[in-house]
Amino acid sequence: MLFIRLVNRAVQAVRRSCPPRAEGAPSSGRLWVYACDQWSWAGPEPPAAVYVFAHDRKAERPAAHLTHLKGILHVDGYAGFYRLTDAGNIILAACWAYTRRKSYEVAQSQDMPVSEDMPVAHEALRRIASLYAVEAQVHGQSAAHRLAMRHAFAKPIVDSLRPWLEMQPPQLPGRGNLGEAIGYALSHWDGLTRFLHECCIELDTNSVERAIRPVAFGRKNNLFDENDGGRERRAILCSLIATCMPNHVELYAFLRGMLQRMVDGLLPWNGSPAGLAAGTA
C-alpha cells in the first residue's frame, strides 16, 4: 500500500549499488529508492520512501517500478530515467545539485593551479546560491505563495543564467568537471526550470539522497548478503525505517509495536477454528 500510494504523487528517484557480494557469488545488485516529501510546500501527505531491489541498473527497472505513475519524477543524471517519458505519463524534473556539485569541486580543488575555470566556477556557485536563497524563503509555504515568489525572484535569475552558461563552453575543457556541469545544465534546461511552474518540485533530489545515505554507510555491514529473498525483505525494512525518520517516529518503538501486533495476530486463540483449518489445508 505504501508503494502504490507513493507512485501516485510526485516522487524523487535514485539508484545505488547494494553491498558487494562474497567472492565467487553472483554479481552485486541495486537498490532503487523512490521518495516523496510534500512538507516543503505544505502538502497534505506525510513523507515516505520506498526501496526496491533489482539485479542491475537497466532502464527497464524504473519503468517496471513506476508503471502506474502519472505525474512528476525528479531524477539525477542517470540517462535511463529519460526513457520513462516515452508514454507521455511522466514528466521529468532535473537536479540543480549536480550542476552545483561539479562547480564546487573546481572551485575547491587544491590539485590544480588557478586557471580560467576558477572564476567561472565561483560565479556559477554564486548564481545557483541565489536560487537556493529564494527557496529558503518559500520552504514550507503554500503552493500559491511558492509559485508567486519563484516567478518574482527566481525566474529573473534563471533567465539570466542560461545565456551566461552558453557563453562559457568555448572557454572550458569539454571533459572537465565544470564543462560537464554546464553541459548537463544546458541539455536538461527544461527539467531544471520546471520548478518555476510546479510548486511541488524542489531544486534538487536531496530528499531521496538522504534516504539512500544509511544504505551506503552500512554497505560493509552487509558484505555477505547473498540471498535475493533476504535483499528484497531488507528493502521492505529500509522502506519502513526511512519513512519513520522524516515523520519523526521513534524507530525502535515503531518496529517493536509492529512486530508485536503481527505476533499477537498469529497466536492460536486469535483465529477461528474454520480459519485455522483453512490455513493448514
- What's the pLDDT tens digit per position in 73-90? 999 888 888 888 988 889
Q: In angstroms, rounded to a whole number, what is the distance separating the alpha carbons of residues 249 and 147?
A: 31
Q: Which segments of the chain belong to CATH 3.30.420?
A: 2-93+205-249
Percent of the chain with pLDDT over 90: 31
Q: List the end-to-end C-alpha distance of the chain, in Å, as a whole number.
A: 28
Percent of the chain with pLDDT over 70: 79
CA 80 from centre of chain: 14
Q: Which residues pair with 11 in a beta bridge?
A: 73
Residues 90 and 73: beta-carbon distance below 8 Å: yes
What's the pLDDT band for 3 if we cut at 50, 70, 90?
A: very low
What's the pLDDT band for 5 if we cut at 50, 70, 90?
A: very low
What is the phi-psi region of residue 88: left when phi exceeds 0, alpha when psi lies from -120 to 50, beta otherwise? left
pLDDT for res 20: 47
Helix (H), strand (E), coil (C) string for 77-109: CCHHHHHHHCCCCEEEECCHHHHHHHHHHHHHC
For residue 252, the number of C-alpha atoms closer than 13 Å in the C-beta half-sphere is 0
Question: Which one has a higher pLDDT value, 13 or 260?
Answer: 260
Q: Which residues pair with 31 in a beta bridge?
A: 16, 53
For residue 11, report the phi and psi dihedrals to the nearest 5 degrees: -130, 160
Residue 223 scores a pLDDT above 80: no
Q: What's the CATH number of domain 2-93+205-249, 3.30.1360, 3.60.9, 3.30.420, 1.20.120?
A: 3.30.420
The pTM (predicted TM-score) of the whole model is 0.80
Q: In angstroms, rounded to a whole number, what is the distance separating the alpha carbons of residues 179 and 99?
A: 10
Q: In angstroms, rounded to a whole number, what is the distance separating the alpha carbons of residues 243 and 225?
A: 23
DSSP code for 20: P
Cell of 49: 520512501
Q: In angstroms, rounded to a whole number, what is the distance separating the alpha carbons of residues 56 and 54?
A: 6
pLDDT for res 2: 42
Residue 219 scores a pLDDT above 80: no
What's the pLDDT band for 4 if we cut at 50, 70, 90?
A: very low
- Give me the mean pLDDT over the 196-211 stretch: 89
